[in-house]
Structure 1
Amino acid sequence: MSQDYAIGERTAFMGIDDKARSALRDLRPVIRAEIGKALASFYGKVRTTPETRAFFSDERHMDAASARQQTHWSVIAEGDFSDDYVRAVRAIGQTHARIGLEPRWYIGGYAVVGDHLVRAVIDSMWPKGLLAKGDSRQAGEAVAALMKAIFLDMDFAISIYLETLDNERKRLEAEQQAAQARQEQVVTLLARALDRLASGDLLARLDGDVCSEFRKLKDDFNHAVELLDQAMCGVGGATEGIRSSTEEISVAADDLSRRTEQQAASLEQTAAALDQITATVRRSAAGAKQAQDVVAGAKTDAERSGAVVSQAVAAMGEIETSSREIGNIIGVIDEIAFQTNLLALNAGVEAARAGEAGKGFAVVAQEVRALAQRSAEAAKEIKALINTSTKQVEAGVNLVGQTGEALRGIVSKVAEIDELIAQISVSAQEQAGGLHEVNTAVNQMDQVTQQNAAMVEQTTAATHSLKSQTGELVRQVESFRTSAVRRSEPKPTTRIAPAPVASPPPRPTMRPGSAAPPSRSSAAVALKEEWREF
């Protein structure tokens, strides 16, 4: 159906005949005079309505639209309704559809403009009185022609608006179908590639031809899979290295655990032996101290004995002097006895001469002589005894002197022994202090070794867990098909043979002078807390 036929059909149906066209042309002066005012009223409402005001950028834009509408109304007033009119109305309808102006707004605009023009036509053509010029029938025909033109223009605008929307819908549907077909093609290719990728084939690529809008998706997918392939190849190589290193670490950790256990047992025995040595040295130091005290007492006693011997030597010297004096006195007594004996002898001689008168005196003289002889004999005996005693006293003085010399030598030696024992006591005390410090350090080393043993056990357990997880990682990595050239059988891992470790000796249950060793569980818990804090 041609546009001429469509416009003819519409004008015929609405009754826009030559008479109506002529009546419409007669309204050209009124339309030219009033259309500006009508459009001004319309755009006044547009300015105050936010929904319609948003279609115009500024006042210049609104003035330009008003000018085009005035030109369009001039075409309507001609009443030709030719192809130019149809093209103008189509352009208006398509513009309304493109900018999204709904029909309710320009129907309202037709109402505002039509109201103003109808009132103007009635005001200009309706008779004002009985004698006034004017024909109500002609005014009615003019208003009818104007309304038909308005509705014809409105009909075209709405029809073209709907036609444009329908064409746009069809175009969008066609584009959507074409896009859906292209998407289905890409989704099919992508599904195949993802299926291969899900099965572990990292060599899957989007190889089919795709349209330009999905070419970036294809390139990005291929690039991402290629990067994933490279990453998995790198992970595979690194995993092999990790597995080998983990195996070596596991063997070394086991060896270290055994050695640490042996070291802990040996260190504990060493600490126990050192405790015993420390106790022995302390007892030796105490014995040396007691010996020092005993020697000091012996020195004092020897010095006191030396003084007593000196006093004895002095007393013996005095006794020797007294003996000499007694000897002198005895000599005097012996002389007296000798003289007395001579006198008694002389008295006997004189008594004999005297005869009977001297007999009594002779007896006395005889007795005196006998007494003098006995006195002389006694004096001789006493002198002999005094001489013997003097010799014995001299021997005793000599022996006592030698004893004094020996005691002085003993005192000197005892002093030397006392000094040596004092030095031994000081050295023993220093050794006891040093051994105590060494014992404390060894006990600390034992505790640290126990903690190290617990840490080594945890490290060994973590190493075995890491080894198991690494094996699982290797198995997962080997499930992928990559571009790397992989050997059919992995290279056997070189294991480090652990050094032979002697079985640890039995550990003593309690060391003298030390507390019982902490249990493994408590040591492990303490070590775990220290490690977490670290």
Structure 2
Amino acid sequence: MNSISKEIKHSEMRAHDFADLEYRRKFMKLTDEECASIRLIKDIIDRELPVALEVFYEQIRKTPETSSFFSSEAQIARAKHAQQQHWKNISSANFDQKHAEKVYTIGNVHARIGLEPRWYIGGYAIVMNHLIRSVISTLASKPGLFTKKTAISIEEIGGALASLCSAVMLEMDLTISVYQDEAEKARQKSRDDLIQKEQAFVADSFGIILSEVAERNLSQKMDKELPSAYIPMRDNLNGAIESLRDTLGIVNDTTETIDITAGEINSAAQDLAHRTEQQAVSVEKTASAVEQITATVTSTAARVTEANAFVSNCQNITEQFGVMINRATAAMSEIEKSSEAISKITNVMSNIAIQTNLLALNTGVEAARAGEAGSGFRVLAQEIRDLANRAGNASKEVKELVETSREQVLSGVSIMEEAGHAISTIISSVADIGDHLKAIAEAASEQATALQEVNNAVSSIDQGTRQNAAMVEETSAASSGMAQQARRLKGLLNEFTLS
């Protein structure tokens, strides 16, 4: 601070001191009249001051708490002289700015040396005790003091002493106020210095550990003894460092796990990608095969439908053939009946031929008996006998033919019956084949529909597999990036010293 600034500051302080003095003097009603009354006893005060101060300093010498403020008699003498000059200002009732500055100086000195107000008040009491007694005893020794025949009345003496007390009280008030202000400033400065030292110590103590933390060294902890107010802060800092160390340790372990896991995921993703590609190829082949099977089954279903129609046609033809067999069997049965009738007729014809032959024989016998007359009958009988023989032979041949035909008809009937049974079996088998072919056609149609759905599902699987392959590639890239970030994070964590 330069000299001009100091002078301005001192001027402001002097103005403030005098204004404060005037304000307090007015409050105490220490008017100019009161000050004038003090001057009435000025001579007595000035005369008795050396004695009063000697009594005061003698008491100081006897009191250990006060004697310690003085290192020698010379120092006491200087203090006594200064006190005497100051008291003369009081006895003059000259409470100007210079006096105010003096009072504030005294208060500052008392505060600086640590002279407590009790000793200061006690000193004023000793001095005032002697001065009041001296004033009263001096004025009381004059004749007629209490008979109002002197120059100073009792009222004036009382007013002068009261004003002197007010002036002394003003002095004590100002001095003690300054002392208290300065003491408070000193205490505040002491507190500030203590706090500053404490903060410097704490800052230095915390600074060391914080510097270590700033250097990423978390293995240190604060062990210094600190003021009690900072112990929770120290414990919290140690706890925070320990917590951070533990957390970073966990993060480090987790990072290693993430790195390993990411590598495994990447490896698995690459393997899965390879398998997915193979699966995609397999699914594509499967889709192609299913499509071919679907086409084959569809074609088979169409052919089975055609075969079913053919079998139905065969079934109809076989049923018609069965009807024809039945009709042929019925016709052969009628032929058999006709053969039996013919056989009966041939038997009759054979009997007739035998009878005719017998009749012709009898006719020949009779014609022989008749002789010449019966020759014509003999010829006729011979012809009839020949005719009968031929008829008998023919009847015999017809009978044989009918027997042969009958046997053949019976054999044909048996064969036709067997053929009818076979045709019935064929018809039943063809019907079964038709039913089976219908079932096969329906199953083939259902299989074709199912295969179409399978084909659609395989196509969807193929599309999903391709999407999965793309996602696996993305997963592989993401896991690779995650592993890279984990390694980067581990690199950052390695910069910290954890133990």
TM-score (norm 1): 0.49
The reply on whether 1:472 has 2:488 as its aligned counterpart is yes
Match of 2:38 among 17, 20, 29: 17
The amino acid of 1:468's aligned partner reads Q
Residue in structure 1 matched with residue 340 of structure 2 by the alignment? 321
Residue in structure 1 matched with residue 189 of structure 2 by the alignment? 173
Match of 2:248 among 229, 232, 246: 232
| Superposition deviation, residue 365 in structure 1 | 10
| RMSD (CA atoms) | 5.5
Q: Residues 157 and 175 of structure 1: is their aligned pair in 2 closer, same or farther, counting only changes over 3 Å?
A: same
The amino acid of 1:404's aligned partner reads E
For the 8 Å contact 1:344–1:366, the answer to whether it is kept is no
| Superposition deviation, residue 314 in structure 1 | 1.0
Match of 2:409 among 352, 374, 396: 396
Residue in structure 2 matched with residue 307 of structure 1 by the alignment? 326
The amino acid of 2:342's aligned partner reads S
Structure 2: segments with no counterpart, 5+ residues: 1-20, 43-106, 108-152
| Superposition deviation, residue 214 in structure 1 | 3.8
The amino acid of 1:256's aligned partner reads L
The reply on whether 1:194 has 2:210 as its aligned counterpart is yes
The amino acid of 2:336's aligned partner reads G
Residue in structure 2 matched with residue 353 of structure 1 by the alignment? 373
Secondary structure of 1:197's counterpart equals helix
Q: Residues 228 and 390 of structure 1: is their aligned pair in 2 closer, same or farther, counting only changes over 3 Å?
A: same
Within 5 Å, give how 1:418-433 maps onto structure 2: 419=432
Q: Residues 339 and 198 of structure 1: is their aligned pair in 2 closer, same or farther, counting only changes over 3 Å?
A: same
Partners of 2:269 and 2:192 in 1: CA distance = 66
Residue in structure 2 matched with residue 26 of structure 1 by the alignment? none
Secondary structure of 2:216's counterpart equals coil
Partners of 2:156 and 2:354 in 1: CA distance = 218
| Superposition deviation, residue 438 in structure 1 | 9.2
Secondary structure of 1:202's counterpart equals coil
Residue in structure 2 matched with residue 221 of structure 1 by the alignment? 237
Partners of 2:265 and 2:333 in 1: CA distance = 93
Partners of 2:282 and 2:154 in 1: CA distance = 134
Partners of 2:437 and 2:374 in 1: CA distance = 97
Partners of 2:444 and 2:234 in 1: CA distance = 85
Within 5 Å, give how 1:78-477 maps onto structure 2: 157=173, 160-161=176-177, 163-188=179-204, 190-191=206-207, 193-203=209-219, 211-267=227-283, 269-270=285-286, 273=289, 277=293, 283=300, 293=312, 297=316, 300-301=319-320, 303-331=322-350, 334=353, 338=357, 353=373, 377=390, 380-381=393-394, 384-385=397-398, 387-412=400-425, 415=428, 419=432, 451=464, 453=468, 456-457=472-473, 459-477=475-493
Percent same amino acid among aligned pairs?
21
Q: How many equivalent pairs are there?
A: 355
| Superposition deviation, residue 311 in structure 1 | 0.9
Q: Residues 271 and 231 of structure 1: is their aligned pair in 2 closer, same or farther, counting only changes over 3 Å?
A: same
| Superposition deviation, residue 395 in structure 1 | 1.5
Partners of 2:318 and 2:37 in 1: CA distance = 163
Partners of 2:236 and 2:374 in 1: CA distance = 187
Q: Residues 288 and 159 of structure 1: is their aligned pair in 2 closer, same or farther, counting only changes over 3 Å?
A: farther
Partners of 1:255 and 1:404 in 2: CA distance = 76
1:257-301 CA distances to partner (integer Å, 9 max, x unpaired)? 322443454355446545655775674675786687567557645
| Superposition deviation, residue 393 in structure 1 | 4.0
Q: Which has the higher helix share?
A: 2
Q: Residues 304 and 208 of structure 1: is their aligned pair in 2 closer, same or farther, counting only changes over 3 Å?
A: same
Q: Residues 16 and 449 of structure 1: is their aligned pair in 2 closer, same or farther, counting only changes over 3 Å?
A: farther
For the 8 Å contact 1:331–1:379, the answer to whether it is kept is yes
Structure 1: segments with no counterpart, 5+ residues: 1-5, 22-89, 91-136, 356-361, 484-534
Q: Residues 317 and 183 of structure 1: is their aligned pair in 2 closer, same or farther, counting only changes over 3 Å?
A: same
The amino acid of 2:346's aligned partner reads G
Q: Residues 321 and 232 of structure 1: is their aligned pair in 2 closer, same or farther, counting only changes over 3 Å?
A: same
Partners of 2:317 and 2:165 in 1: CA distance = 156
Residue in structure 1 matched with residue 94 of structure 2 by the alignment? none
Partners of 2:39 and 2:342 in 1: CA distance = 203
The amino acid of 1:395's aligned partner reads Q
| Superposition deviation, residue 251 in structure 1 | 1.3
For the 8 Å contact 2:37–2:156, the answer to whether it is kept is no
